[in-house]
Chain A
Amino acid sequence: MPINLWHENRVLGDFVQELEKKVVKIIKKKKANFPESFIQDITEAAKRHELTDKELTELVGQIKKAYERAKVEDGEAVGTVAAQSVGEPGTQMTMRTFHYAGVAELNVTLGLPRLIEIVDARKKISTPTMAIFFEEEFRSDEEFVRKMANKIGKSTMKDIIKDFNINYAEMNVIVELNLEKIEDKRLDYDDIIARIEKAFKRVHIDNNILSFEPTTSNIRELRLLADKIRDLQISGVKNIGKVVIRKEEEEWVIHTEGSNLGTVLKMEGIDKVRTTTNDIHEIEKVLGIEAARNAIIHEAQRTMEEQGLTVDVRHIMLVADMMTADGKVKSIGRHGISGEKASVLARASFEETGKHLLRASIRGEIDHLTGIIENIIIGQPIPLGTGSVGVVMKQKK
């Protein structure tokens, strides 16, 4: 960088820093409690429009007003509103699976089935998939990405076979390896041989001609052996199947069928920030509960958007917060949140009424009638909205 430009940048940096300090000061004076991003946005705006101090103060004041107006008040039925806001668009979702364009297709569950999967916090999702990104220096390196794709994606013997013969007369299977294909897939010959030797005891290796013998000499065994040889996995990460390499806006990205975030993140050259999976439980296991919360929000919103439906994030955030508030991902419904409520009456009113009432009576459970449902059942005003406010006579001073 030339000196004068460097100097200019430094001066500009100083200016922005000073401006930011000023913004923070004004915000403090206005007693506003803004998130970090607001401070940056305001600074940016002040710089762009060259605001005077007076204008800046006015701006902060107006933002504060709007910010406070956007907050929900105590006693607002946010849960009910969230349920309706997600539920109504949910009725419009079509049962449709989306296919990636291109020759090699990847199937990903979307639409209503996917949304149900997220909310139910399924352990085994129907189509786990990963999007693997690379660090800056490898992003446009096709050779490197292809090598990684073959390391990650599953390859079996049948992908690298040139010739395959079952010899019934000599009771053996003769396999000729296709060295070109091995080269093309960037696999290691010695690695493959090691794997084959580990999997099959009775194998004779002569360069790229392999002959296998069954343990007991009969035709049935021989045929089983042939299938076993063809399906032997010679490379790939556990739980990951097919991979698709695509160029997305000047960078190479690998999409996978199946998912194994833990192993992939440990590999060299992987962008650990952007590489992701759609398996929420895996994210929880590898990256923790906050990441899982973000994943729920992200996945739910993406699923809705793909169907052309927009739901305010705050509704989805509430759902995600409820699902992760305990430090582990819980489902909504019988086995999760609704089934773990403290109140007997609340649980009984959801599902399996008899079971809950019987158990509660055996254990002698006490219901403190603090929730909404309990008070509806016994016919009292509910603690929500106006009902959540207590009124007392003012103490005489």
Chain B
Amino acid sequence: MTSKLTRFEKARIIGARALQLSMGAKPLVKVPESLDPIDIATLELKKKVIPLDIRK
């Protein structure tokens, strides 16, 4: 993830990662108060630790 992500890319990545988390993947950040996978995925994206790439 070099350049800035578009809002579509953000949504797509957060969605894909949240699905992984909901199915039992280990979070790569310290889980915040909220256990919502989307919140966790958003935080992961913010910290740039999501193991996903965009393919155009």
Contact = CB atoms under 8 A, between A and B. Distances in A.
B47 interface: no
5 contacts: A74-B9, A76-B8, A386-B11, A389-B54, A392-B52
A394 B49 CA distance: 10
Nearest to B50: A394
B8 A388 contact: yes
Given A391-B13, A391-B16, A74 B8 contact: yes
A393 B53 contact: yes
* Interface residue tally on B, bucketed by range: 10 to 19
Interface in B19-36: none
Contacts of A392: 52-55
* Interface residue tally on A, bucketed by range: 10 to 19
Interface in A71-116: 73-76
B46 interface: no
Interface string B39-56: 000000000001111111
A389 B8 contact: yes
Contact of B7 (A73, A393, A394): A73
A385 interface: yes
B8 A394 contact: no
B53 A75 contact: no
Interface string A371-397: 000000000000001101111111100
A394 B51 contact: yes
A73 B54 CA distance: 15
A386 B6 CA distance: 9
Contact of A386 (B12, B51, B56): B12
A225 B32 CA distance: 99
A75 B8 contact: yes
Contact of B6 (A73, A390, A394, A395): A73
A289 to B, nearest CB: 30
Contacts of B56: 74, 389-390
Contact of B12 (A73, A76, A389): A389
A75 B5 CA distance: 12
Contacts of B12: 386, 389, 391
